Structure 1
């Protein structure tokens, strides 16, 4: 067992260990509604829902699911932006003992098809605006019921009346054909009684969530997170933020709930604390600034690109941002200049943390109000062990040496859904092998030296080159294609495609971009295209992706 030098630097208020409850994750909402029934749980574009109203709706949704045949262990896909319906569907599914499959609303049909087929989801909850896209996939899957909602369902008057007019003016298709298989979310809630229910679970074994992530192969894998995993990580995050007060905090929910970072540090943690979620359907800097100015959120977790947008906004000075107490940045490295400027503008704290989907996701964070170190991801959270090991031997390395970061704790996943081989590759003797290169200093602060091999992180999104390459290869004019990350001052990285065309063809970058846009979520679409006569390869024909990146760096003009 390694020593834990980081414990010497824990704030006095943060315990080294904690007894995490072992119950249904939905109990976080049930208990919050019992303690704070009249407190606002959600604020969505002017509409508020109290905790008692939110729980009432969750019970109604759970009852509706049960009447549709959904029970313990059944998978329910939730393909929604941040809105009240996403919270209701999430909590309602958990109350039945079902397993939530959070699904990115940006997914194109090919991506959605894989996720629905792999998870075996038989129910999906989605928006009217996404209905046409979803229905292209449903016949190819096991999905029996499609539950459709609209943003207007939870807008206040007169916005709910004006919304359809604006949608038509913007050319958004909203035609939904209802049937025995296609059901209206609002009608289901109206017709279902709010009978209390909460399925009994084996919290350490029963799954609450299947969260899809990519891998070095580019094949999306379902991370199996239990009720205990997610409860533990919400509480670990709350223990770290020890000054956060029950029934007082307002969480700015700009991170999407379909990303496990947003799910844990926003939805789950807010319920645990009896906080209020200020829901933003998507991150848009002007709307975000107005929300901070008017609604006074105190906690604003995010990705570095969000904070970069704020500090570079030409009229940020017009807004009162002083309500922000602290922010935890994840999903990508946080530049020091961004950290210091954000703190100057808001007066709040901005610290960097680290995590991965396989750990629910948070494993490390810098102290919020005590010593933090430049470039560090901070210290392991309570009950989290962390080591740097030799990539080949697995031997623990001393401080200062670079190796693979491994972690273990109550937040570490059970494994990958239906994928024992990939599970065995990353879970060894209780330790999660992250694939990230790191070092630890003498004080127990950890530093990430490099992300997983070839992984591109653009604006906080993980992008796996092989998936993009496969789409490019499908184009009839493309002979060879390889994708790599290129430095981007705003997104951290952006996607660059290196293309070798078939002889006699003259396809250009715009055509390839349109091809990719029709088949990939927008953030995965390459923004830069370099056409080449050939690609550098090893003797066995493997493309040397790193060599392409190095060549691009060498071609950069000197500063």
Structure 2
């Protein structure tokens, strides 16, 4: 393979290499607060918090942790939507030397239990509306502390008064929380805590800042160990690529969730590093997003393809002024070229596709924003990032243009999997991260993903691993056999389809199976389509031919187009 031909495609403003500071990741907040103390860091539905206020709150949180006996290396789960409390808890945990475990608020008890017990979490920060779910999940492994907050705690008046009334009307109101020595109020804890600076020393290259869970094709999710250096490097790499980004001037539309590593890096960490303003969106609601762009004028909008699809297909989009959007990076799923072109015509901004994976903090490749790019390409490797196309079994380089496994190496690549040395050894070989994705590189150094991991389903930017869904289906007393695969979905990229063989004499319906799954899986993992069959295609040794089912679906879809 030619030696790093992608470097010839770098804009002259982007360095090939950089000396990344060896520091606690939370220092990016400290530095921005010192340089821009009065600048707005967070804008939460009209509630503005300056960098000075945000840092003081993070210090209060860190001091509270230390007073409760939390020490360096302890794991703190943050199970919140995008809100000030999540940002405070994240950076406060890092300042105290703790390790953040970002947890999806959509998780059901079985998923919460696995993640929190696997990570050995001592404390969780979550919403009042989610306390019951967390308590149920951790019945057999009680946490030492649960810190409880409500969305209304950081809303401006009169929204803070009206929000509980709206939640009650919508049926989403929280059950009254029973506070105790182990169930504490987030707000009161901060109010009673000192804002004196806290700087627990860490070894940035060895000590973990984050355990981020990713799905596993062989069962439950694996914890990816990301060091302070991994995350600092990836935030700075992104900033080097966004070379027109001006410190203290950019506004970031934060619709991507921070519990997803893509949102954590290209939104939260990048925005704080550049002293930008984060316009926090608790969830992606198309009307609220369009209003936010129109009124609050964000310049940077990282997202998943489904977000851009929702915008270009909205019937009322012409009523909103989207011209403030200058830069968008799309990740978490393939970006259709048609979507890219329509979105750019609509906004006048640049929408580029990137590539990454949790094990790389996550970004490894991205297209030029203002320079040359290629349709359907994931672009070029980031500064200090090497990439090769190899034979996945032998590790040998393949000739230019041939399809093989994409492997990467760089300062953003994980330390390994939490408590899984065998999985680590299989994925990290001689410093190279084997992605499991099939790709090719052209003569100019642009990379193209040809296929994702064999069985991975990506729906709306979320990774879904079939075996986890199948295991739930097998728990149903009427199911004899089940296999799950991804089918084409024009909006979400893919949807989950379940192929079911029922036990003799059973007549379970699609609605019953869907209800069964909803009780045991996060909503985005629940199969959308169910097909009942007499038998499933199998090999001679009885292994189900998932690929055959996928190919059948693809043929049906192509004939219908």
Equivalent pair of 1:206/1:226 in contact (CA under 8 Å): yes
The one-character-per-residue Cα deviations of 1:430-468 (angstroms, maximum 9, x if unpaired) are 000000000000000000000001100000000000000
Shift of residue 142, structure 1, vs aligned partner: 5.0
Partner of 2:238: 237
The one-character-per-residue Cα deviations of 1:259-315 (angstroms, maximum 9, x if unpaired) are 000000011001110000000001111100000001000000000000000000011
CA–CA distance in structure 1, aligned partners of residues 514 and 418 of structure 2: 33
The one-character-per-residue Cα deviations of 1:378-437 (angstroms, maximum 9, x if unpaired) are 000000000000122211112210000000000000000000000000000000000000
Partner of 1:101: 101
Does structure 1 residue 379 correspond to structure 2 residue 380? yes
Partner of 1:287: 288
Partner of 1:539: 540
Partner of 2:521: 520
SS at match of 1:6: helix
Shift of residue 173, structure 1, vs aligned partner: 4.1
CA–CA distance in structure 1, aligned partners of residues 141 and 90 of structure 2: 21
CA–CA distance in structure 2, aligned partners of residues 160 and 473 of structure 1: 44
The one-character-per-residue Cα deviations of 1:117-159 (angstroms, maximum 9, x if unpaired) are 1000010000001111011022322511000000000000011
Q: For structure 1, list consecutive stretches of 5 or more residues without a partner in the other structure.
A: none
1:466-505 alignment runs, 5 A limit? 466-505=467-506
Deviates more, 1:523-532 or 1:213-222: 213-222
Equivalent pair of 1:26/1:198 in contact (CA under 8 Å): no
Partner of 1:224: 225
Equivalent pair of 1:299/1:327 in contact (CA under 8 Å): yes
Could you say what the CA RMSD is over the residues aligned between the two structures, in angstroms? 0.9
Deviates more, 1:66-75 or 1:137-146: 137-146
1:71-82 alignment runs, 5 A limit? 71-82=71-82
Equivalent pair of 2:488/2:554 in contact (CA under 8 Å): no
CA–CA distance in structure 2, aligned partners of residues 69 and 537 of structure 1: 55
Shift of residue 71, structure 1, vs aligned partner: 1.0
Does structure 1 residue 361 correspond to structure 2 residue 351? no
Does structure 1 residue 60 correspond to structure 2 residue 51? no
Partner of 1:444: 445
Partner of 2:124: 124
Shift of residue 320, structure 1, vs aligned partner: 0.7
Q: For structure 2, list consecutive stretches of 5 or more residues without a partner in the other structure.
A: none
CA–CA distance in structure 2, aligned partners of residues 173 and 151 of structure 1: 11
Give the TM-score normalised by the residue count of structure 2: 0.99
Change beyond 3 A, Cα 1:54–1:558: closer
Q: Which runs of 4+ in 1 moved over 6 A?
A: none
CA–CA distance in structure 2, aligned partners of residues 132 and 219 of structure 1: 23
SS at match of 2:271: helix
Equivalent pair of 2:2/2:400 in contact (CA under 8 Å): no
Count residues in correspondence. 559
SS at match of 2:232: helix
Partner of 2:50: 50
Deviates more, 1:540-549 or 1:443-452: 540-549
1:129-168 alignment runs, 5 A limit? 129-141=129-141, 143-168=143-168
Shift of residue 539, structure 1, vs aligned partner: 1.6
The one-character-per-residue Cα deviations of 1:139-198 (angstroms, maximum 9, x if unpaired) are 322511000000000000011011111222222242111000000000000000101011
Shift of residue 214, structure 1, vs aligned partner: 1.0
Partner of 1:31: 31
Does structure 1 residue 13 correspond to structure 2 residue 13? yes
CA–CA distance in structure 1, aligned partners of residues 138 and 436 of structure 2: 35
Equivalent pair of 1:89/1:125 in contact (CA under 8 Å): yes
CA–CA distance in structure 1, aligned partners of residues 418 and 78 of structure 2: 17
CA–CA distance in structure 1, aligned partners of residues 241 and 478 of structure 2: 53
SS at match of 1:406: strand
CA–CA distance in structure 2, aligned partners of residues 508 and 558 of structure 1: 26
The one-character-per-residue Cα deviations of 1:36-92 (angstroms, maximum 9, x if unpaired) are 000000000110000000001000011111111111000000000000000000000
CA–CA distance in structure 2, aligned partners of residues 289 and 99 of structure 1: 35
CA–CA distance in structure 2, aligned partners of residues 236 and 552 of structure 1: 40
Partner of 1:312: 313
The one-character-per-residue Cα deviations of 1:464-521 (angstroms, maximum 9, x if unpaired) are 0000001100001101000000000000000000000011111010000000011100
Deviates more, 1:349-358 or 1:173-182: 173-182
